[in-house]
Amino acid sequence: MADLLLIDIGTLAGITTPGKLKLAGKEMASLGQINHAYLYIKNGLIDSFGSMETLPLDLQSNTSVEQINCQGRFVLPCYVDSHTHIVFARTREEEFEMRIKGKSYEEIAEAGGGILNSARRTHEMSEEELFQQALGRLNEVISYGTGAIEIKSGYGLSVEDELKMLRVIQRIKEVSPIPVKATFLGAHAFPLAYTQNRKGYIQIIIDEMLPKISALSLADYMDVFCDQGFFTPEETTQLLLAAKGFGLKPKIHGNELGYSGGVQTAVQNNALSVDHLEYTGEQEIACLLNSDTMPVALPGCSFFLGIPYAPLRKMIDAGLPVCLASDYNPGSTPNGRMGFVVSLACTQMKLTPEEALNAATLNGAYALELSHQLGSIEIGKLGNVMITKPMENLAQIPYFFGSDRTYKTIVRGEVFKEINC
Ligand code: NIG
Ligand code: FE
């Protein structure tokens, strides 16, 4: 928790009206900005900001407050990455090569690869090694500008290994300088031994996993992969109702592989978010319009798997809020750079840079129930901001695709330095 004064900011962007928790439809097009600005973070929280002409003289001359002269660089709120799987054991290049040669993600999964492949490797890896690897990924994404993150389990698929993953996430929470939310994703796939006994695995989740996770307070949310070849809408609803009994709010992986009913199931269960949405039509849009469920797109997954992109342009034009997240995982998206996600949203989904940045910041915070605290420049919010490399305008963030414009990430008023433990 530090004090920090940023002066000579070229443009301070991402300023919202106090109390605004998400942006929808046309609202997404504007990103509040002040040119030639200052930003003062006190005790880790945004205390004041404005144009340089309004910077109080006593603050500028206060030698006990660390100052950074931004020399005309941009300052924006950090990205909020509301969907990741950064606790995983080993990468899956062999499947990547199988897909290059023509196999689909589903075919690989049906043959025991995919999520089940990661589950076998998670079982074999020690908790300490899983932790160290996840910590490395956390360090990496914070340095690219991520200022809050969600992490899912879901590569355990047994009582013992789901708990192991959630304990690793808990340890990450304890050492992370940025807020972390933990999501239980035991319903990510059916383990091989239960493919003919789906009810049996669902009962293990409900009767064994959920009570233990709840007793140890290891999760904030419950997620289910409600999609073709994975969990049905009925199974998803059964699981989410049980989770609610343990105080876990729902999130859903849905409509990645087909019109699976994932969106309707999410809305019926008042899910906080429904994520993926590559298969979203008029019915799904109409359903989301009557809800508080945040639609979350994961364009890195579409890019890597070569599947359709979620129709975010249509969704915004229909008046919906939309959110962008990385989905960083070893199978469908081995990349956690939110700058690249923003770029894909512009080039592939036709969002403007302002819409994409709002989707990756304030609306990401909403999907984690953190938008009162993060996701925009507002007095009282956490001082988690990024200073960019020299840029001419905001559009250069998505324009230089794959090449982050982040120069320094500030976390609670301190320049981020790698966490080691
Ligand atoms: O969000 N689609 C489901 N789960 C992950 C991928 C998991 C994996 O392939 O390891 C996703 O893309
Ligand atoms: Fe995912």
| Mean per-residue pLDDT, 367-389 | 98
One domain for residues 18 and 129: no
The answer to whether residue 372 is domain-embedded is no
pTM (two decimals): 0.98
pLDDT at 216 over 70: yes
Per residue in 140-152, pLDDT (tens digit) is 999 999 999 999 9
Structural domains counted in the chain: 2
**CATH number of the CATH domain containing 101:** 3.20.20.140
Q: If you measure from the C-alpha of residue 113 to the centroid of ligand 1, how many angstroms do you get, rounded to a whole number?
A: 12
Inside any domain, residue 41: yes
Using CB atoms within 10 Å of the CB of residue 57, give its burial: 0 to 12 exposed, 13 to 18 middle, 19+ buried. Answer: exposed
What's the CA gap between 410 and 384, in Å, rounded?
A: 5
For residue 84, what are its two tokens? 């990741």
Mean pLDDT of 188-213: 97
- Give the list of residues 6+ apart from residue 85 with CB closer than 8 angstroms, or none: 151, 152, 154, 155, 185, 327, 328, 329, 330
* Residues 70 and 84 both lie in one domain: no
The chain-wide mean pLDDT, for the chain, equals 97
Is residue 28 domain-shared with residue 141, that is, in the same domain? no
Report the pLDDT averaged over residues 295-315. Answer: 98
Q: What is the mean pLDDT of residues 363-367?
A: 98
Domain residue limits at 331: 79-366
Query: How many whole angstroms from 225 Cα to the centroid of ligand 1?
Result: 9
pLDDT at position 113 over 80: yes
- Rounded average pLDDT over 8-19: 97
85 CA to centre of ligand 2 in angstroms: 6
Residues 69, 95: one domain?
no
Q: What is the pLDDT of residue 328?
A: 98
| Residues 152 and 118 occupy one common structural domain | yes
Structure confidence at residue 384 as a pLDDT band (50, 70, 90): very high
- Specify if 420 maps to a domain: no
CATH number at residue 63: 2.30.40.10
Mean pLDDT of 223-251: 98
- Does one domain contain both 51 and 178? no
Average pLDDT of the residues in 164-193: 98
Q: Do 12 and 59 have their domain in common?
A: yes
53 and 92 housed in the same domain: no
Decide if 287 contacts 81 (C-beta within 8 A): no
Specify whether 103 is located in the same domain as 180.
Answer: yes
What's the whole-number mean pLDDT along residues 29-38? 98
Q: Which atom of ligand 1 is nearest to the CA of 256?
A: 2
Q: What is the pLDDT of residue 1?
A: 67
Q: Examine residue 371 and state whether it is found in any structural domain, yes or no.
A: no
For ligand 1, which residues put their CB under 6 angstroms from it?
114-115, 118, 225, 253, 256, 301, 327, 329-332
Considering the domain architecture, whether residues 165 and 302 belong to the same structural domain is answered as yes
Q: Are residues 188 and 155 in the same domain?
A: yes
Please state, as a whole number, how many other Cβ atoms lie within 10 Å of the Cβ of residue 322. 29
pLDDT at 171 exceeding the cut of 80: yes
Statement: residue 46 has pLDDT above 90: yes
Residue 37 shares a structural domain with residue 88: no
Residue 163 lies in a domain: yes
Instruction: Give pLDDT, residue 2.
Output: 84
* 3-state DSSP assignment of residue 53: helix
